[in-house]
Amino acid sequence: MITIFMDDSFLNGLHRTLGRERFAHSCGVATIARDLAPAWGVAHDKAHYAGWLHDYARNLPESELLALAGKFAYPVDLLEQRYPILLHGAVGAFLVQESGLSNDREILTAIRRHVTGECGMTSLDQLIFVADMIEPGRCYEGVDRLRDLAATDPKQALINALQMKIAYLEQSGASVHPRTTAALRDKLLPDSRKVAPSGES
């Protein structure tokens, strides 16, 4: 159990960092994540806090994202070099930790993974990934169906969210990160065929 303080000082500081539009988006993600937390088997306080902080580095210029990735010794891959905006999750997690806003591993991992997804995502990772796509400000074909699934069938909601992200990127001519396709393959694989990590049964 962690203690999280979201007082006026925290919210005002976050507003200065994110700006009005990004702050409103993060508020929506935080609210959705908190409300869906019980259905996803996630602690509501962690879900709420991770939702607020998931886009902490989203407004940074691409050159700064690359520079900070180097500072934190994050291994930038070829696609991230081409599209540095993909780094805002990883860099945001480092900055959140460096600023003292959170040292919680689950929260930091959810911030890092929300951009592309990843094989082996935790329930909190999955919730933040989906909440980012269904917060009230989102308006696109299929979002209402995704919202319904998020409240009733978390696994299928994540599968649909990954499929929709991949389809959107392909249709717009953008490259799909291998982590995203790996995350989808991981969720489509029957549980009986998944190999437990070393030391687990």
Indicate the domain borders of the chain: 8-191
pTM for the full predicted model: 0.92
Tell me: pLDDT of 3 over 60: no
- Of the pLDDT bands very low, low, confident and very high (cuts 50, 70, 90), residue 193 is low
For residue 201, what pLDDT is reported? 32
Residue of 84, 54, 51, 50 lying closest to 67 (CA atoms): 84
For 26-73, what is each residue's pLDDT tens digit?
Answer: 999 999 999 999 999 999 999 999 999 999 999 999 999 999 999 999
Q: At which residue do the structure tokens 């990590």 appear?
A: 197
Note whether 93 and 78 are within 8 A (CB): no
Within 10 Å of residue 148's Cβ, how many Cβ atoms?
A: 12
- Of the pLDDT bands very low, low, confident and very high (cuts 50, 70, 90), residue 174 is very high
Q: Which CATH class is domain 8-191?
A: mainly alpha
For residue 1, what pLDDT is reported? 43
Least confident among 6-20, 71-85, 131-145: 6-20
The pLDDT of 167-186, averaged and rounded, is 96
Q: How far is CA 4 from CA 43, 60, 93, 102, in A?
A: 12, 25, 16, 9
For 177-191, what is each residue's pLDDT tens digit?
Answer: 999 999 999 999 876
Note whether 154 and 126 are within 8 A (CB): yes
How far apart (Å, rounded) are the C-alpha atoms in residues 62 and 24? 22
For residue 2, what pLDDT is reported? 52
Q: Position 95: which residue type?
A: L
How far apart (Å, rounded) are the C-alpha atoms in residues 30 and 36? 10
For 84-143, what is each residue's pLDDT tens digit?
Answer: 999 999 999 999 999 999 999 999 999 999 999 999 999 999 999 999 999 999 999 999
Please provide the DSSP assignment of the chain as one string.
Answer: -------HHHHHHHHHHHHHHHHHHHHHHHHHHHHHHHHHT--HHHHHHHHHHTTTTTTS-HHHHHHHHHHTT----HHHHH-GGGGHHHHHHHHHHHTTS---HHHHHHHHHTTT--TT--HHHHHHHHHHHHSTT---TTHHHHHHHHHH-HHHHHHHHHHHHHHHHHHTTPPPPHHHHHHHHHHHS-GGGPPPPTT--
